[in-house]
């Protein structure tokens, strides 16, 4: 897809949107969000390297636009309906699902309309707000919901003074920006972490993309953004590389003087894509994807700015082929007969997927942190099974809404057991009875998953204090049932401290699922330390294969 990043200036008279111009604005929103989605990703409350709100919203918008990009319709009602459907099917993560509800509200407001003027635009914002709030069981202020509400209120206030859609949109974007900046005052965890709400920021970029298009401003120049260095510590190969971008280049360097970040970005944009820049303790890390013939240009350029300390060049296509080969190994999934109950589970790593398969999963969807599956991914898994009774285990709090959306889109009997972690999902699977009553089995699985405690060990991406725990960038941190509880310099010591916090001595079994990047020697050493600390407990070690997290720990 290529958007006209320097569109012709809009006429000075009243702006009226038909289906075609609405499509261009949707494309502009997508492009501007893509340009700046890493900023949204970086606004993660917890200092963990898996902020994915920007990616989820971007993929949701991409799916929405794909649904309308070839439509010739001038009827805005028809185009908006298709856009909303595409957003729903492509919705990923909680932010993506809420975004799909916002577009659903817009579609409702313009249903049957040929064009949209300022008054209808304000009505669409109000309907978007109402639909988004209704789609969340327990709405929380200081989130994307609040930004949608403030944007709608600004539209309603502007309509009292003007019916010019262009002027109304400008005021709405300004209000959305101000609303994002206020989110920390409404949600204490944001203020404590020193960030604004990521979903609200994503919605702001979507609205601002529309405004930039009609104001004849470029959409392909990112706002220069500096991430914590630890956020770029462990790059994962992409599922697919951009056409012509064959190599991933990562350069660590120490600038000779102050780094002009905007100029730095501008020069890198001439070489490639997927540009990210991180900094920590005076060391900068530059990440970029480039074509083969330009694979040394970022290195040569960076050397002119200071001292290069480390260089890594990876063949993206080779990485992708390796991933596809590894994932191509078929799992032995449970055979399900018509009328039986089938379990659809989400797994963040191949090792964990094998465990789920051994426990009777009938379908496994790859997903977890940074790779939330879409509503369509989950719906496809449901529809692929030869039974009309299905239980879904999301195994991640950010996948529950997408799972519930998928359940509402099928005629099959589907129940979402809201597992928030992998250990909860694995424990729930022990209560699966394919021949039982669907509701009874789902209730038993939900009860069973409350019997397990979940621990997670990862590396902090920034310095912050949350819940009384002081974290330094690069620290090893431990989370207990999603709450940050320990931090330290050493992986082994932090793992033992986390188990002590969980009161692992009161349980019988400790299972360590180790991540994709943790050496087996370190796994064995830490497992032995856990056994020594818990001599009366059974300690199991399993390959998890999950990214970002050194360990996912089940205590039961």
User: Domain containing 489 — which CATH number?
Assistant: 3.30.1180
pTM beyond 0.85: no
What is the average per-residue pLDDT within 275-288?
Answer: 80
Length of the chain: 556
| Inter-residue contact 364 to 333 (CB < 8 Å) | yes
Q: With a cut of 60, say whether residue 13 has pLDDT above it.
A: no
**What is the per-residue DSSP string for 177-216?**
HHHHHHHHHH-HHHHHHT---HHHHHHHHHHHHHHHHHTT
Under the phi-then-psi rule, with left for phi > 0, alpha for psi from -120 to 50, and beta for the rest, what region is 216?
left
As a whole number, the mean pLDDT across the chain is 87
200/55 same-domain check: yes
74/195 same-domain check: yes
pLDDT in tens, 55-95: 889 999 999 999 999 998 899 999 999 999 999 999 988 89
Q: Is residue 100 domain-resident?
A: yes
Q: Smallest Cα–Cα separation from 10: which of 212, 162, 222?
A: 212
Q: Which domain holds residue 300?
A: 226-323
CB-based contacts of 538: which residues, under 8 Å, 6+ apart? 508, 509, 510
59/201 same-domain check: yes
Share of the chain above pLDDT 90, in %: 59
Q: With a cut of 60, say whether residue 538 has pLDDT above it.
A: yes
Q: Is residue 1 domain-resident?
A: no
Name the DSSP class of 293.
G
Q: Smallest Cα–Cα separation from 285: which of 262, 267, 309?
A: 309
CB-based contacts of 493: which residues, under 8 Å, 6+ apart? none
Domain termination residue (choose one: 277, 303, 323)? 323
Question: Is residue 538 helix, strand or coil?
Answer: strand
Q: With a cut of 70, say whether residue 486 has pLDDT above it.
A: yes
Look at 315 and 132; give whichever has higher pLDDT: 132
**Span of 9-13, 284-288, 316-320, 423-427 with lowest mean pLDDT:** 9-13
CB-based contacts of 500: which residues, under 8 Å, 6+ apart? none
User: Domain containing 301 — which CATH number?
Assistant: 3.30.70.260
Question: What is the chain's Cα-based Rg?
Answer: 24
| Inter-residue contact 9 to 225 (CB < 8 Å) | no
Q: Is residue 14 domain-resident?
A: no
Q: Is residue 2 domain-resident?
A: no
What is residue 318's predicted lDDT score, i.e. its pLDDT? Answer: 67
Q: With a cut of 80, say whether residue 12 has pLDDT above it.
A: no
- CB count within 10 Å of CB 466 equals 19
67/36 same-domain check: yes
Strands 453-459 and 551-555: antiparallel
What is residue 38's predicted lDDT score, i.e. its pLDDT? Answer: 81
458/431 same-domain check: no
33/153 same-domain check: yes
Q: With a cut of 60, say whether residue 286 has pLDDT above it.
A: yes
432/459 same-domain check: no
CA–CA separation, 422 and 429 (whole Å): 11
What is residue 242's predicted lDDT score, i.e. its pLDDT? Answer: 54
198/294 same-domain check: no
CA–CA separation, 547 and 459 (whole Å): 11
What is residue 97's predicted lDDT score, i.e. its pLDDT? Answer: 93
CA–CA separation, 359 and 362 (whole Å): 10
* Alpha helix stretches (DSSP H) within 257-333: 261-269, 297-303, 316-327
Q: Is residue 221 domain-resident?
A: no
Domain termination residue (choose one: 214, 236, 252)? 214
Question: Is residue 81 helix, strand or coil?
Answer: helix
- CB count within 10 Å of CB 307 equals 12
Q: Is residue 262 domain-resident?
A: yes
232/86 same-domain check: no
445/466 same-domain check: no
457/405 same-domain check: no
Q: Smallest Cα–Cα separation from 249: which of 300, 276, 306, 289?
A: 289
Q: With a cut of 60, say whether residue 224 has pLDDT above it.
A: no
- Domains contained in the chain, number: 4
What is the average per-residue pLDDT within 279-303?
Answer: 86
| Inter-residue contact 418 to 547 (CB < 8 Å) | no
Question: Is residue 467 helix, strand or coil?
Answer: coil
CA–CA separation, 78 and 113 (whole Å): 8
């Amino acid at each position: 897809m290529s958007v006209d990043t320097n569109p012709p200036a809009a006429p000075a008279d009243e702006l009226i949107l038909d289906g075609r111009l609405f499509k261009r604005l949707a494309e502009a929103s997508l492009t501007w969000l893509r340009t700046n989605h890493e900023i949204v990703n970086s606004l993660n409350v917890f200092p963990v390297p898996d902020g994915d709100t920007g990616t989820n919203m971007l993929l949701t918008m991409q799916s929405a636009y794909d649904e309308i990009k070839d439509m010739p319709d001038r009827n805005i009602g028809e185009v908006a309906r298709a856009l909303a459907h595409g957003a729903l099917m492509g919705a990923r993560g909680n932010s993506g699902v809420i975004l799909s509800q916002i577009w659903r509200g817009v579609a409702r407001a313009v249903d049957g309309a040929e064009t949209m003027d300022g008054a209808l635009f304000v009505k669409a914002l109000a309907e978007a707000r109402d639909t988004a709030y209704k789609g969340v069981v327990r709405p929380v202020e200081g989130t994307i919901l609040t930004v949608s509400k403030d944007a709608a209120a600004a539209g309603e206030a502007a309509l009292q003074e003007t019916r010019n859609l262009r002027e109304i949109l400008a005021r709405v974007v300004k209000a959305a920006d101000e609303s994002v900046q206020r989110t920390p005052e409404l949600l204490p965890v944001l203020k404590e972490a020193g960030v604004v709400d990521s979903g609200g920021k994503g919605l702001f970029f979507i609205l601002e993309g529309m405004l930039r298009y009609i104001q004849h401003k470029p959409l392909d120049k990112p706002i220069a953004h500096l991430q914590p260095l630890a956020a770029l510590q462990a790059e994962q190969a992409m599922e697919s590389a951009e056409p012509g971008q064959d190599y991933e280049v990562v350069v660590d360097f120490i600038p000779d003087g102050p780094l002009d970040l905007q100029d730095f970005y501008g020069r890198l944009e001439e070489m490639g894509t997927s540009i990210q820049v991180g900094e920590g303790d005076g060391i900068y890390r530059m990440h970029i994807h480039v074509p083969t013939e330009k694979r040394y240009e970022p290195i040569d350029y960076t050397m002119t700015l200071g001292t290069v300390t480390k260089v890594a060049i990876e063949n993206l296509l080779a990485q992708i082929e390796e991933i596809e080969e590894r994932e191509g190994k078929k799992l032995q999934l449970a055979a399900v007969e018509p009328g039986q109950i089938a379990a659809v589970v989400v797994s963040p790593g191949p090792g964990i997927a094998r465990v789920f398969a051994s426990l009777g999963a009938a379908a496994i969807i790859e997903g977890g942190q940074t790779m939330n599956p879409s509503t369509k991914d989950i719906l496809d898994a449901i529809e692929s099974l030869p039974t009309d009774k299905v239980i879904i285990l999301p195994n991640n709090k950010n996948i529950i809404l997408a799972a519930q959306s998928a359940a509402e889109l099928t005629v099959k009997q589907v129940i979402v057991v809201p597992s928030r972690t992998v250990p909860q999902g694995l424990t729930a699977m022990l209560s699966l009875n394919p021949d039982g009553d669907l509701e009874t089995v789902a209730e038993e699985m939900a009860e069973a998953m409350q019997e397990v405690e979940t621990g997670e060990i990862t590396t902090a991406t920034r310095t912050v204090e949350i819940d009384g725990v002081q974290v330094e960038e690069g620290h090893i941190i431990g989370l207990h049932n999603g709450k940050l509880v320990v931090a330290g310099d050493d992986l082994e010591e932090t793992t033992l401290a986390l188990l002590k916090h969980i009161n692992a001595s009161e349980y019988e079994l400790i299972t360590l699922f180790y991540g994709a990047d943790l050496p087996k020697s370190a796994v064995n050493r830490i497992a032995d330390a856990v056994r020594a600390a818990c001599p009366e407990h059974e300690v199991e070690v399993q390959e998890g294969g999950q990214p970002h997290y050194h360990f996912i720990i089940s205590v039961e």
